Copies of this chain bind each other. A is one copy, B any other.
Amino acid sequence: MTDFNPNASLPAPSIPGDALPPVEQHAQQYATVRNAHETELIEDYVELIGDLLAHRGEARAADIANRMAVSQATVSKMIRRLNELELVTSKPYRSLFLTEAGQKMAETSRARHDIVLHFLRALGVRDATARIDAEGMEHHVSDETLAIMQRFTEQQQKS
């Protein structure tokens, strides 16, 4: 308390909206987001490599660069990281492949991504918009919410 504040301890002015959450809970919100940001790019790479392998039979660095709209140098550097994390195997000038761990991550990410995408479409969001939103949202959806989204989509499809 440094600045003079005329309303410091009055009954309660016209506070709009919800109150602030308790400090620990609030901190948890931000920490969870920071955490998601550490892994989401990795997940997107692995998921994309999995998709390219499934749909095209091979995953080349140039395809990734084009699909992500990023320079080839950026992809090359990222592949080195994925290698160090033992998520992909790569021989220079050859297609990438996923390790066991990489395949597992790709499947999990793809499943999560699809649930979010299908949910948004079931909600009534146009396909192109749903795809864009899902690409970002997928990394910030808890398992609890994911389960609810899936149920919602199934309900929707029955009717």
Contact = CB atoms under 8 A, between A and B. Distances in A.
Interface of A: 1-3, 5, 7-8, 15-21, 23, 25-33, 36-37, 44, 51-52, 54-58, 60, 66-70, 93-95, 110, 114, 120, 123-126, 128-133, 135-137, 139-142, 144-145, 148-149, 152
A145 B30 CA distance: 23
A133 B141 contact: yes
Given A17-B110, A125-B148, A131-B21, A136 B55 contact: no
Number of this chain's copies in the complex: 2
A14 to B, nearest CB: 9
Nearest to A19: B55
A114 B120 CA distance: 18
A137 to B, nearest CB: 5
B29 A131 contact: yes
B135 A32 contact: yes
The 9 closest A-B pairs by CB, nearest first: A136-B140, A27-B69, A29-B135, A5-B57, A33-B136, A26-B67, A30-B68, A3-B95, A137-B140
